[in-house]
Amino acid sequence: MEYLGHELSVDGVRPLDRLVTAVREFPKPRDATEVKRFVHLAGYYRRFIEGFGAMMSPMTKLLRKDVEWEWGEAQDDAFERVKEALT
C-alpha cells in the first residue's frame, strides 16, 4: 500500500521505488535553487539515511545567505553519498 511517498507493508515502511529513482537520477546541482530541490527531495526520506544531516552539511552550507556559490569536491562527495545511501 502506498501512503505519502512510502510503501507500507507487513514488513514495514520503505521509500517508494519511483521516488528513490528520482533521487538517484537527480542531476548534479548547478545553483542554489537546484541544491534546495535536492535537499528537499532527499530530505523527505532522511529517516532512512543514518547521519543525513551531517552527510548533507557541505551542500546545505551553500544555501546560507551571503555565501558565494562554489560547488567543490566536498559537495560532490556529499551529493553522491546521499544518493548511494538511499538507493
CATH code, domain with 66: 3.30.70.270
- Cβ pair 49, 85 in contact under 8 A: yes
Closest CA to 74 of 53, 51, 56: 56
pLDDT at 22: 81
pLDDT at 58: 96
**Is 10 part of a structural domain of the chain?**
no
pTM comes to 0.80
For residue 13, what is the DSSP state? Answer: E
* Structural domain that includes position 23: 16-86
Q: In the chain, how many domains are there?
A: 1
Closest CA to 57 of 79, 40, 27: 79
Residue 14 sits at φ, ψ, to 5 deg, of -150, 160
**Is 36 part of a structural domain of the chain?**
yes
10-residue mean pLDDT series, the chain (87 residues): 69 70 90 93 83 93 91 96 86
**Is 43 part of a structural domain of the chain?**
yes
pLDDT at 16: 64
pLDDT at 4: 64
**Is 1 part of a structural domain of the chain?**
no
pLDDT at 7: 73
pLDDT at 23: 82
